[in-house]
Amino acid sequence: MLNRKSVQSAPTDPPAGSRTRPNMSARAVPPSLAGVKHIVAVASGKGGVGKSTVSANLAYALKERGFRVGLMDADIYGPSQPGMLGAGGDKASITLDQKLTPVSRHGIDFISIGLLMDEDTPVIWRAPIAMKMIMQFIGAVEWGERDYLLIDLPPGTGDVQLTLAQQASLTGAVIVTTPQDVALGVAKKGLKMFEQVNVPVLGVVENMSGFTCKHCGETTAIFKEGGGKAMAARLEVPFLGSIPLDPEIMMSGDQGVPVVQSAGESVPAKAFLAVAERLQEEIARLKAGSRMEPVNMEMADDGVLSIEWPDGHVSRHSAYNLRLACTCANCIDEDSGRKILDSARVPLDISIQEIKPVGRYGLSIAFSDQHSTGIYTFDHLRAIDEGSGGNTESKSFDV
């Protein structure tokens, strides 16, 4: 029987000098992002498909729809937001306590490496500090209260993208593609990366989709048509809409004003506003679903981790059961799903040394046997408590 009283009264932090209590924080969101309601990464398989253009215009479209919006230009190697938002020579200020204050343009607060380094700093100098900078962007920017924070990711699926997907508590990701960019493999790679870290793909945006003649109104598919829609269908994710190929988009970008602001009634502006509306709908749909996120987590005196779920259910997990339920590559064969952890080698008196949040989707747990490579998603934790899909050995262990 669960003794809720002892669980609830157990302090979250270990008493000073205690060696038995693990270091545990129930907070899954970095403090600088705590006031942000929805964090959406804008990604693409390759460069030049208009990812930054879509990010800037979506940010402005969401602002037009009445939201408080921030934009993080995480494209360390090719930051384009300072130019696109007309802040070419501006620099972000750094407070005494080393916090970065975003620059404000067109009602959007944004941060970019372009606001911290000179434009002519060679990419080769940026590379070694890329990850450091990304961690600064996640943890040291004063975003305050925001409805949306869009993150303009670098193209591809490298370390920077993965770190952001893991650390920035993403609500979801948007994938930008062009009609002819039906390189499904590339998009799939991106999708898989987000899936791996439990970040839902909110949908695909097809950019540079057909050219509408200003004079006769006829639309010509300069490249192919429908690639984005087909991609979304094949990846089984929502299609958020198409943005036409339009010189006005490019010129506005070059002039540092998103087309949604400079030509609000134009065809491309309306297309961006429609995509923003679809994005909002997808986020609402996602939130209405039953994503598992704990309401509260406590370590009880007996070393058992208690998790309270949104439906009021409280699950208890002993260190031993959790260790056996580890799904990391050292414990489970990735291809066959077969368990390779030898349970006889797990000490019966194993304890939890440290618990750290991983994004908004799970926990990383360090055990007294020095094992710390497993990520326990909240879905998995709930599943092993209820015995559906969990480790059978763990179910039979009496806590």
Nearer to ligand ADP, 207 or 394 (CB): 207
Q: Which residue is nearest to ligand ADP (CB)?
A: 50
Q: Which is nearer to ligand ADP, 263 or 299 (CB)?
A: 263
Helices H, strands E: what count in the chain? Answer: 14, 19
CB of 52 to ligand ADP, least distance (A): 3
CB of 202 within 8 A of CB of 283?
yes
Q: Closer to ligand ADP at the Cβ: 49 or 62? A: 49
Minimum gap (Å) between residue 49 Cβ and ligand ADP: 4
For the CB of residue 81, give the shortest distance to ligand ADP in the complex, in Å. 9
* Least separation in angstroms between CB 78 and ligand ADP: 7
**Which residues lie near ligand ADP (CB under 6 A)?**
44, 47-53, 80, 207-208, 243, 245-246, 249-250, 253
Least distance CB 152 / ligand ADP (angstroms): 7
**Residue 132: CB minimum distance to ligand ADP, A:** 22
Q: Can you say whether residue 369 is alpha, beta or left, with left for phi > 0 and alpha for psi between -120 and 50 degrees?
A: alpha
Cβ-proximal residues to 290 (8 Å cutoff; 6+ apart), any chain: none
Q: Report the C-alpha gap between 356 and 352 in whole angstroms.
A: 11
For ligand ADP, the closer CB: 80 or 171: 80
The answer to whether the beta carbons of residues 76 and 126 sit under 8 Å apart is yes
In what order do the strands lie in the sheet containing 314-317?
A: 296-299, 305-308, 314-317
Helix axes 51-64, 247-255, angle to 10 degrees: 80
Q: Closer to ligand ADP at the Cβ: 137 or 367? A: 137
- CB atoms under 10 Å from CB of 217, counted, come to 8
Residues 6+ apart with CB under 8 A from 66: none
DSSP state of 339: B
Which positions ≥6 away from 249 have C-beta within 8 Å? 50, 53, 57, 243, 259, 268
Q: Smallest gap, in angstroms, from Cβ of residue 270 to ligand ADP?
A: 13
Within 10 Å of residue 2's Cβ, how many Cβ atoms? 13
Q: Which is nearer to ligand ADP, 253 or 390 (CB)?
A: 253
CB 330: neighbour CB atoms within 10 A?
Answer: 11
Of the pair 73, 109, the CB lying nearest ligand ADP is at 73
In eight-state DSSP terms, residue 129 is: G
Q: Which is nearer to ligand ADP, 18 or 255 (CB)?
A: 255
Task: Please state the closest distance from residue 247 (CB atom) to ligand ADP, in A.
Answer: 6
Report the nearest approach of ligand ADP to the CB of residue 32 (Å): 24
- Give the span between the Cα atoms of 238 and 379, in whole angstroms: 22
Nearer to ligand ADP, 243 or 331 (CB): 243
| Side chain identity at residue 159, one-letter code | D
